[in-house]
């Protein structure tokens, strides 16, 4: 399980207000609201950047990537240490395990996170539902700070992914991948030569 630990765990993070994507909030035990945002790149390009983000973010990317459909979707099984903090008689920090479901189209990314369990001192608790009611509220009011710190952690994962998708420019490999896709479309007569030439002129500046 520790092989799934996310590289950067952020506690008490301030939500990135500059990000052009809605933050996600706990709505009922284990599930956070889904978020969708528009992209101006092909599904293949977004898919490749998603894989790049996984490789950069997780210590063991091959193990956290538990499902994928090339060009269309990925499923991640992750683990984040010190993901939330609660104030009771003693301050307590909890880790979380979660699944992240990302669906990709040519113009839209759908992002959904489900929390599988909370861990205290490396041991699983009795389940997320023992902490949160069906309104997504912490069952013990004096510990309700856990909800906001948990949401801060999962939103930092979201914003990290969003920023990766929206990074201006392309790497040489990304540009080559895009150009090959459009060349295949040209060969299949799905686009015109002029459309291909315009796309090539746009991409060639990134290719080294």
> Average per-residue pLDDT in the chain?
79
Residues 62 and 29 in one domain: yes
Residues 118 and 30 in one domain: yes
pLDDT tens-place string over residues 144-194: 566 778 888 888 999 999 988 887 667 787 788 878 888 988 898 888 999
Does residue 115 surpass a pLDDT of 60?
yes
- Enter the pTM of the model: 0.73
Residues 178 and 118 in one domain: no
Give the span between the Cα atoms of 34 and 18, in whole angstroms. Answer: 19
pLDDT band at 12 (very low <50, low <70, confident <90, very high): very low
In sequence order, which residues have a C-beta less than 8 Å from that of residue 52 and are 6 or more positions away? 164
Q: What is the mean pLDDT of residues 85-107?
A: 84
Give the span between the Cα atoms of 202 and 125, in whole angstroms. Answer: 52
Residues 196 and 111 in one domain: no
pLDDT band at 139 (very low <50, low <70, confident <90, very high): low
Locate the DSSP E strands across 12-64.
26-28, 31-32, 35-38
Residues 105 and 137 in one domain: yes
pLDDT tens-place string over residues 59-79: 999 999 999 999 899 999 999
Residues 133 and 159 in one domain: yes
pLDDT value of position 124: 86
User: Which range marks the domain in which residue 180 is found?
Assistant: 172-206
Residues 13 and 94 in one domain: yes
Nearest CA to 95 among 110, 81, 111?
81
Domain count, the chain: 2
Residues 6 and 81 in one domain: yes
pLDDT value of position 168: 64
């Amino acid at each position: 399980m520790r092989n799934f630990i996310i590289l950067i765990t952020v506690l008490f993070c301030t939500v990135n207000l500059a990000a052009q994507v809605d933050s996600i909030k706990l709505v009922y035990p284990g599930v956070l609201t889904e978020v969708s945002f528009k992209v101006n790149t092909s599904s293949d390009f977004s898919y490749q950047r998603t894989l790049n983000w996984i490789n950069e973010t997780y210590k063991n990317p091959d193990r956290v990537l538990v499902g994928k459909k090339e060009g269309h979707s990925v499923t991640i099984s992750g683990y984040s240490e010190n993901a939330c903090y609660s104030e009771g008689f003693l301050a307590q920090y909890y880790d979380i395990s979660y699944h992240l479901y990302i669906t990709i189209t040519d113009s839209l990314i759908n992002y959904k996170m489900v929390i599988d369990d909370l861990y205290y001192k490396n041991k699983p608790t009795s389940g997320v539902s023992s902490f949160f009611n069906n309104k997504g509220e912490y069952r013990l009011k004096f510990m309700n700070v856990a909800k906001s710190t948990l949401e801060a952690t999962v939103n930092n994962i979201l914003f990290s992914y969003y920023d990766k998708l929206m990074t201006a420019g392309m790497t040489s490999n990304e540009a080559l991948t895009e150009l090959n896709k459009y060349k295949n479309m040209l060969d299949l007569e799905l686009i015109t030569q002029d459309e291909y030439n315009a796309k090539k002129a746009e991409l060639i500046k990134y290719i080294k």
